[in-house]
Structure formats: C-alpha cells, structure tokens
Amino acid sequence: MITPSTIAVFEYEMKRYAAELRNIGLLIDREPERINDFLHLPAMKAINHMMIPPEYGGQPIITIGQEKYYGLSSLERVITIEQLSAGDAGVFLGGPGPSMSSIVMMDLGDEEQKERFYSHFMKGSAWAFFALSEPDKGSDATEISTRITRQSASDMKLNGHKFYIGNGSRASIGLAFAQTNRTPLGIQIAIVDPSIQGFKATPLDTMGLRGLRISHLEFEDFPLEEKDIVGRHLSPTKRGLWGALRTFHRMRPSVAALALGIAQASYDYVLEQRSIFTEREKTELERLEMRLHSLRSMIRHAAAEIDQNAQKGYLASLSKIRAASLAEEATELALAMMGPGSMVEHPLLNKWYRDARAFEFMEGTTSIQKINVFQAYANGKMQHA
C-alpha cells in the first residue's frame, strides 16, 4: 500500500519505465502495430501485469525499498499512470494488460470467470477491451442498443456495434455491454473471445493516441453461454449498469492522471529546451506549475476517496474536468513558447497536443462530469467539503 513516506520512491521507479515509453512514443504514433516489437521492455511487462490480483498471478512492481504494488488501488493507479503518461500516454494505453476490464472482473466476476480472464495475461503479453460506447449513443449505458437474445442458458446470441474501443483490434479477450431488455436491470456484461466466429474489429484512423488502436467492433450472432455473463452469481441490481457506474467512478481519477502526465511533460519540455524567458513567460510558467501541483493534489485526494467509497465520485469528476482542460492549455502554451514552426520542429509537442484532445471524451465529457457534480451537490454529498 502506498503511504506518504513511499510515494517518492514509487514515483522514481515509475520514471524509469516512463523513459522507455518516451523512447518509442513517436515510432508507435507513426506505426501503432510496431508496439509488438517492444513487448520485452520492463515497462511493457509491468503494464501487462498491472491491475491483476496476486491470487490470479499478478506480478507486482517492486521498488528499491522492496515495497510491492499491483495497481489495485485508485491511488496506486493515478501515481503510476501520471508518470507513464508523462513518458508517453499513447504507448501506455496501447500497451498490453487487462486495463479497465480488470475493475469489472474484480468487482463482479465469479472465480471461474476471473481465472479465465486473468489467465490470458499469464501466458505472455495480451490485450483486453472494454466495449461500452456505441455509434450515436456514446458511453450512455442506459441507451445501449447492442442486444443479447436468449433461447436457453447454452444458446445466446450477441448482436450490435461498439465504437471507439481501445485495443479492440488486438485484444484476445474483452467485455461487452449489452441489453437483454429495455430496463436498467436488463444490462448485462459478456466475456467475449475475439477468436470465435461472429466478431469483427476494424481499427479507426485517429489524430491522437494512435498507439491505442481505437476500433469499431461488430457482433453478428456471436455465440454466448451463461458462463460468459459477468456477475451471473449476483442479483441483477448488483451487476450490469451498477458495474459500469462503479468502473467509471474508479477510472475517472486515472483519466485525470493521464491528462496531468501530458501537461507535466509539456511544462518540463519547455524548461529543458529553453533557458531564457521574458518576464511574461516566467509568470505564465509559474502559474502553470502551481496549477499542476494543485491538480495533482486533487487527483490523489479523489483517488483516495474512491478507495474508501467507490460510489463517492464527485471529486473524481471535478479532477477530470480540470485535467482535460489543463492538458489542452499546457500543450498550447508549450507550442507557443517554442515559437513559430514548433509543430514541425518539435514532434513530441505535436504528438502531445494531439493526444491531449482525447481526454475530453474519455470516461465522460465535461458536460457529463458537471452533471455528476451537480447531482452530488443536490443530494447533499458535498456538504462536508
């Protein structure tokens, strides 16, 4: 468990991994499939096992102080992700591992499902997808049109489309959200094996986070059985939509940490590349530095609160709003300070500028986060703040 006395040591360890990601960031941005050439790197091996519980084979990150970290708490994840994103967010997100799907499996999966899911990552580098977003629907779980039709416990079919799904075209397992009926309790989460007939994944061309290989998934009479329904041992009120909401609450601080990492990298890049600044530039950089420190504190506090109560997500929403905005502002400021032609002369800044625009749409837009905050206020959950 991370404590105030061990954070610095843990951050130091993460910076070593971040340097490996930075070294290949531009290459992966140009050729996303080349990520397979670098799976031997210690950073990639660590990402592959991140968020896997030890009882299912998870291998911890061990620091020089011999502390062990599995990335199972929100606080561990935000510290890890900030540093790795400062190395390269696209490579980190495009790296192997269970990612968001692991949170659902930890919360809702039965023992057989967990063994089946996590075993993919014990055999070597593997990817998983988390398929919720749909064409014209976004990530609104209440508007899912992908359907599961059931003839019997051993004869079910999955039909529909999922859009903007990270690592969808390279995953060997994934989770797909679908409806069995038009009610919140009708939402189900299915374990999907992409090698089975009825599944198709097409990579989409994107401007940023190209290493993530965002994809369009199609399910056409994809066969399912009862054993594939995540949370089959739980009541309908404790799975499906409930699982999606818990996942979003827990992942929002991580998305904020991704954005913070790019903002911090942009700030550091300017200081590395320039030594003389005007008084106005100094003021702008000092203001950015203070905002970075303030946001870091907010994100870590939000993560710690989520670890205490997974339903307490309003601070995570505030963090995500601020982080997405700051990443865009920081990359714009860095480009302006590096002068005319900086988009061409500084390809890293060009990449970070493009990557930063993705965070507005990950785990809910700013408008959605504001609704979350308002609801928390209206329900009296923010009275102590």
Say yes or no: 68 and 158 in one domain: no
**Are the beta carbons of 329 and 267 closer than 8 angstroms?**
no
Say yes or no: 255 and 174 in one domain: no
Say yes or no: 230 and 316 in one domain: no
Q: Can you tell me the distance from the alpha carbon of 85 to that of 77, in angstroms, rounded to the nearest whole number?
A: 12
Q: Can you tell me the distance from the alpha carbon of 192 to that of 174, in angstroms, rounded to the nearest whole number?
A: 5
Say yes or no: 360 and 250 in one domain: yes
Say yes or no: 312 and 190 in one domain: no
Which residue range is the domain that position 88 belongs to? 7-95
Say yes or no: 66 and 17 in one domain: yes
Q: Can you tell me the distance from the alpha carbon of 188 to that of 223, in angstroms, rounded to the nearest whole number?
A: 15
The residue type at 145: S
% of the chain exceeding 70 in pLDDT: 96
Question: What is the residue-averaged pLDDT of the chain?
Answer: 92
3-52 pLDDT, tens digit each: 767 888 889 889 999 999 999 999 999 999 999 999 999 999 999 999 99
| φ, ψ for residue 75, nearest 5 deg | -65, -45
- 87: pLDDT strictly greater than 80: yes
Q: What is the dihedral of CA 8, 14, 20, 22, to 10 degrees?
A: -80
52-73 pLDDT, tens digit each: 999 999 998 888 777 888 999 9
pLDDT in the model for residue 249: 80
- 385: pLDDT strictly greater than 50: no
Say yes or no: 227 and 251 in one domain: no
Domain count, the chain: 3
Say yes or no: 139 and 231 in one domain: yes
Say yes or no: 249 and 269 in one domain: yes
Smallest CA-to-CA distance from 81 within 230, 239, 252 is with 252
pLDDT in the model for residue 186: 87
Smallest CA-to-CA distance from 304 within 74, 100, 107, 77 is with 74
- Return the DSSP state at 34: G
Range 358-385 average pLDDT? 80
Say yes or no: 62 and 172 in one domain: no
**Are the beta carbons of 68 and 61 closer than 8 angstroms?**
yes
Residue 318 covered by a domain: yes
Last residue within a domain, chosen from 235, 264, 290: 235
Q: Where are the alpha helices (DSSP H) in the chain?
A: 7-30, 42-49, 74-94, 100-108, 111-122, 241-273, 279-308, 314-337, 342-345, 347-356, 366-378
pLDDT in the model for residue 378: 85
Q: How confident is the model at residue 383 (pLDDT cuts 50, 70, 90)?
A: low
Q: Tokens standing for 4?
A: 């105030």
111-140 pLDDT, tens digit each: 999 999 999 999 999 999 999 999 987 766
Longest dimension (CA), the chain: 72
Range 322-342 average pLDDT? 97
CA angle at 76 for the pair 29 and 358, rounded to the nearest 5°: 30
Q: Can you tell me the distance from the alpha carbon of 95 to that of 97, in angstroms, rounded to the nearest whole number?
A: 7
CATH code (residue 246): 1.20.140.10
90-113 pLDDT, tens digit each: 999 999 999 999 999 998 999 999
DSSP of 190-214: EEE-TTSTTEEEEEPP-SS-GGG--
Residue 19 covered by a domain: yes
Residue 116 covered by a domain: no
Residue 12 covered by a domain: yes
Residue 104 covered by a domain: no
CATH code (residue 146): 2.40.110.10
Last residue within a domain, chosen from 220, 235, 250: 235
Smallest CA-to-CA distance from 196 within 158, 235, 147, 164 is with 158
Q: Can you tell me the distance from the alpha carbon of 45 to that of 373, in angstroms, rounded to the nearest whole number?
A: 37
